[in-house]
Amino acid sequence: MFTWHENENAAVAAQNLADAVAAALQTALNQKGHAVLAVSGGRSPIAFFEALSQKDLDWANISIALVDERIVPTDHADSNTGLVREYLLKNKARSATWIPMVEDGKTAEVLTPEATLAYALAHYRQPDALVLGMGGDGHTASLFPRAPQLSDGIDLARREPLLHTTPVTASHERISMSLAAIVKTPAVFLAIQGAEKKAVFDKAAAAATLEYPTSLVLNNERANCHVFYAN
């Protein structure tokens, strides 16, 4: 299920989300001595990344991973890897360990879905905290409505924490965390902004439906999800 956090503007939301994620990471550090954070890409998280990178945490014992990634070279303009390296793995977070999903130096020709998934699974570590976004089509992570792999991705009995997905409503083949891996994460955060996203969120929050895959997180009783919203 989820807890709603409304913020007066996007800047405040980014700072408050950074505070909440830092607290979740500190809890894991206190309990285990190390922590894993998985984040989502796109342009929306940049302010959050920059705020989090300034937090006083034991970054040397924190690992950063991706919730999902486009199957493109890591120097591609659409790579989430490049985005995280530019905006999060800096300042105080510079000493964090990167958990790759796509291998550096590989060209588009050799980055097949099968090879990329195998590589990502070999490096996967279950997050202690993760940050999701939501698309205007209701997708989260790379669990897209009408994707041919959606039924596999939302299978709560699925053992493999990652899968290859083919979006119908977006470009690029993807690697994504499964719904089972997402709801297994102790602290889940969802960041949304604007009236259009709020309208989609309200539909997703109303009931679990394949039309809005985000709804499967919001309405899952195992999920500890905190939603940070700004208009």
pLDDT score, position 169:
84
- The pTM of this model reads 0.96
One digit per residue, the tens of pLDDT, for the chain of length 231 reads: 899 999 999 999 999 999 999 999 999 999 999 999 999 998 889 999 999 999 999 999 999 999 999 999 999 999 999 999 999 999 999 999 999 999 999 999 999 999 999 999 999 999 999 999 999 999 999 999 999 999 999 999 999 999 999 999 889 999 999 999 999 999 999 999 999 999 999 999 999 999 999 999 999 999 999 999 999
pLDDT score, position 44:
85
pLDDT score, position 42:
81
What distance in Å separates the CA atoms of residue 3 and residue 84, rounded to the nearest whole number? 26
Which ranges of the chain does DSSP label H, i.e. alpha helix?
10-32, 46-52, 80-87, 113-123, 150-153, 179-184, 195-206, 215-218
User: Using only C-alpha atoms, what is the Rg of the chain?
Assistant: 16
Q: How many residues does the chain have?
A: 231
Take residue 197 and report the two structure tokens written for it: 């996203």
Which sequence spans correspond to the domains of the chain? 2-230
| In this structure, CATH architecture of domain 2-230 | 3-Layer(aba) Sandwich (3.40)
Report residue 86: phi and psi, to 5°: -75, -40
What distance in Å separates the CA atoms of residue 21 and residue 5, rounded to the nearest whole number? 13
Report residue 21: phi and psi, to 5°: -65, -40
Q: Residue 197's closest CA among 147, 146, 231?
A: 231
